[in-house]
């Protein structure tokens, strides 16, 4: 079955809105990470979050490892937040298992 | 200071040619990776090296050959390029192997005509 599943697949918001992106992962996946791929294709490491909550400016992430999910919160969205957000976790073979991504479009 | 760098950023070439992509990291990490991202944005690992030693070699055609002269460099050589090789190739590094926090290079967009 799917090991890392992200929702929603697409999200269109107005500038200033808040959003929550979700990542569900199976038993064989842990050590969650969140990445942002901007419209220029650059992959940026946002959070390494095996469990608990971390905050970085307008972004924060929470992983509840016992319930096998992680959430990425974006507050007061800006157009520069547009892009694809990926979560990835360590699989049983120690490789990163990637979700399919959430495509976020922030309209001015 | 660029943490993980790749050259070239863009590569356009014809079928049948041989090309190389270079990657360097200045983070002092032990592990480096090559990923391929297709047009649907799906990221697939190709290779992983830990301290110059190959540790992951996914099902990749043997036309692709990685080379790690030292732990700060991981280059990718591709022989006899095919149309299906067109993609964005990302290099990444992590402190050690095992799915720890990874840092990515800017990517190399390869177009095979």
Maximum distance among all Cα pairs of chain A, rounded to whole angstroms: 43
Per-residue DSSP letter, B51: T
**Of B99, B106, B109, Cβ closest to residue A94:** B99
Chain A residue with minimal CA distance to B48?
A95
Nearest to A96 among B88, B102, B109 (CB): B102
Reduce the DSSP state of residue B65 to 3 states and report it.
strand
Averaged pLDDT, A72-101: 91
| A-B contacts (CB, under 8 Å) | 47
Across the interface, which of A41, A90, A95 has its CB nearest the CB of B88? A41
> CB B101 to CB A48 under 8 A?
yes
**Chain B residue at shortest CA distance from A94:** B98
pLDDT tens-digit map of A11-54:
999 999 999 999 999 888 888 999 999 988 899 999 999 999 99
Give tens-digit pLDDT for B64-77: 999 999 999 999 99
């Amino acid at each position: 079955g799917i090991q890392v599943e992200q929702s929603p697949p697409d999200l269109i918001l107005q500038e200033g809105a808040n959003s929550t992106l979700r990542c569900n992962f199976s038993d064989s996946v842990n050590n969650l990470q969140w990445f942002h791929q901007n419209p220029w294709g650059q992959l940026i490491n946002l959070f390494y979050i095996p469990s608990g909550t971390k905050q970085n400016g307008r972004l924060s992430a929470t992983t509840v490892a016992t319930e096998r999910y992680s959430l990425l919160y974006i507050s007061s969205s800006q157009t520069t937040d547009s892009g694809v957000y990926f979560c990835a976790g360590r699989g049983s073979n120690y490789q990163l298992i990637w979700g399919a991504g959430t495509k976020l479009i922030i309209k001015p | 200071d660029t943490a993980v760098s790749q050259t070239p950023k863009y590569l356009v070439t014809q079928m049948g040619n041989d090309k190389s992509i270079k990657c360097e990291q200045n983070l002092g990490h032990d592990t480096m990776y090559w990923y391929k991202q297709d047009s649907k944005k799906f990221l697939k690992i190709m290779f992983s090296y830990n301290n110059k030693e190959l540790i992951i070699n996914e099902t990749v055609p043997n036309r692709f050959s990685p080379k790690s002269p030292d732990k700060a460099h991981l280059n990718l050589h591709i022989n006899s390029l095919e149309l299906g090789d067109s993609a964005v190739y990302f290099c990444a590094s992590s402190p050690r192997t095992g799915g720890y926090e990874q840092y990515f290079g800017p990517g190399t967009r390869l177009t095979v005509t």
